[in-house]
Structure 1
Amino acid sequence: MTAPTLVSVIVPAFNEEATVERAYREITAVFEALPGHALELIFTDNHSTDATFAILRRIAGADPRVRVVRFSRNNGYERSLLVGYQRARGACAVQIDCDLQDPPRLIPEMLALWREGHQVVYGVRRALPDGPVTTRLRRIFYAGMQALSDDELPRDAGEFRLVDACILAELRKVDDTSPYLRGLISAMGFSQVGLPYDREARVAGQSKFPLSKMLGLALDGLLNHSLMPLRVASITGLTVGICTFVLTLVYLAGRLVFGQSWPAGFATTTMLLLLGITLNAIFLGIIGEYLGRIFRQVKGRPRPIVEVEIGCAGPHPLRAVGEGGRDEMRG
């Protein structure tokens, strides 16, 4: 008999005691209706301070398909998620948030597109349950990233995606202190396809992504996948320099050739000085953001430290990890 296809489902969690058990039930229910598929359910607990880990420990004790990775501290959403990808052993892996705003019932559709030969299947958000301001900011961010990025980033794509084992193999090589997985996976290439869907509202608990964290994630995405801010700084500096040089020539010509008597211009001089100081501060800040990321990277600090890991960490008996290709791993 053909061995079932192992599918890893990665669920990041932080203080999700109100939703984590529901997430487990709904995801496992999807796979109970999927013949020929085996489930590896990986929860990454980003050092929750509520009962999330206790609930996950109980679930993992009762279901051997569940693995729990708890970190020694909160390492941020993207870094903890990268660890989940690096531990996945499936022929493909699905990332889904614990709040289930991205519905698990779409996983079979993702698997169908994957079997057609696509290495990445990403969810495209047609509708969002957020308020009008947040929704508009998200749309602006997606459009801006698509315009500014050096890589081809899909528009309106969130964190809900399926990736093939070949993507997982590449992610295991990544050692980045400020990863932006959405862009990193998109930049890898291969065959990628979108799956449109309507995002649902959170039914319990509170969002872990307020506006400040969204802005931080947007900054990570921009700086990780575009040199445009540095180019804007260079172009603006060059433009201001040219304008200053031209105005200097005009001033000298008017003074020496035409005998103009210019006013003292204290206010004008002050405004120009303040403008120059402001521009310097802005562009030094942009350069500092890039340098800060380089500094953290070259420091070689340890990856997120796993405090507790529940579940088998060895090769899964359903398939061997080798170079047989995606069709072989699917059985």
Structure 2
Amino acid sequence: MGKISQKGYIVFVDDGSKDQTWNRISELSKGNSSFVGNKLSKNQGHQNTLLAGLMSVKNQCDMSISIDADLQDDINCFDAMIEKFYEGDEIVYGVRNNRDKDSAFKKFTAQSYYRILKGLGANIVYNHADFKLMSNLVLEGLSKFSEVNLFLRGLVPMIDYSSSSVYYTREERMAGESKYP
């Protein structure tokens, strides 16, 4: 207890959705400073949307945790991530501990993806997507990149601050379908 400021808040970023997402974010944030919404003018893509959210909190926090709204990543990892931050890690990766729920094809393509990237020299965390804690120091470092075609999973490790991982079992998607092919 007491590891997160009472001034902490959750930022939702709407990536130009055409459904009721923005209306729901607006309703949630009305009169409640715990929730903030950012609406992008159009669909900017997953990585640009994630970066927009992170940059909107830069210099306003000691740390931030990025997580996709489909809630497949385990919010119960937050405590362990925050603990690792207070132990000195500037980046804490949320890493899937298995791919048991993936189809054989999905498992094969995902594992091949990580192997190929590693073979090409990418410093990438195996089975990590975009669920991570980053300190404001890391956000500041990330803001220095002028990349247009973003790949945050590859950029964040390049910032080269102390890091660790928290492992979890990924849940089934609560609603909707993945936009990733």
Could you state the TM-score of these two structures normalised by the residue count of structure 1?
0.51
**Partners of 1:84 and 1:61 in 2: how far apart?**
19
Q: Which residues in structure 2 correspond to 1:130-145 (within 5 Å)?
A: 130-145=102-117
Matched, 1:124 2:95: yes
Q: Which residue of 2 aligns with 1:201?
A: 172
Matched, 1:95 2:71: no
**Partners of 2:73 and 2:98 in 1: how far apart?**
11
Root mean square deviation of aligned Cα: 1.4
Q: Which has the larger radius of gyration?
A: 1
**Partners of 1:132 and 1:201 in 2: how far apart?**
16
Q: Which residue of 2 aligns with 1:77?
A: 46
Q: Which residues in structure 2 correspond to 1:207-222 (within 5 Å)?
A: 207-210=178-181
**Which has the larger helix fraction?**
1
Is the Cα–Cα contact under 8 Å of residues 158 and 182 in structure 1 kept in the other structure?
A: yes
The one-letter amino acid of 2:153's match is R
Is the Cα–Cα contact under 8 Å of residues 74 and 169 in structure 2 kept in the other structure?
A: no
Q: Deviations over 1:295-331 (max 9, x none)?
A: xxxxxxxxxxxxxxxxxxxxxxxxxxxxxxxxxxxxx
Moved over 4 A (4+): none
The one-letter amino acid of 2:12's match is F
Aligned-partner SS, 1:62 = coil
Q: CA shift at 1:102, angstroms?
A: 0.2
Matched, 1:67 2:36: yes
Q: CA shift at 1:127, angstroms?
A: 2.0
Unaligned runs of 5+ in 2: none
**Partners of 1:133 and 1:36 in 2: how far apart?**
41
Is the Cα–Cα contact under 8 Å of residues 43 and 69 in structure 1 kept in the other structure?
A: yes
Q: Which residue of 2 aligns with 1:260?
A: none
Is the Cα–Cα contact under 8 Å of residues 3 and 82 in structure 2 kept in the other structure?
A: no
Q: CA shift at 1:121, angstroms?
A: 0.5
Q: Which residue of 2 aligns with 1:53?
A: 22
Aligned-partner SS, 2:97 = strand
Could you state the TM-score of these two structures normalised by the residue count of structure 2?
0.91
Q: CA shift at 1:83, angstroms?
A: 1.1
Aligned-partner SS, 2:89 = coil
Number of residue pairs aligned between Structure 1 and Structure 2: 176
Q: CA shift at 1:40, angstroms?
A: 1.9
Q: 1:190 to 1:36 in 2, by over 3 A?
A: closer
Q: Which residues in structure 2 correspond to 1:167-246 (within 5 Å)?
A: 167-210=138-181
Q: Which residue of 2 aligns with 1:229?
A: none
Matched, 1:153 2:124: yes
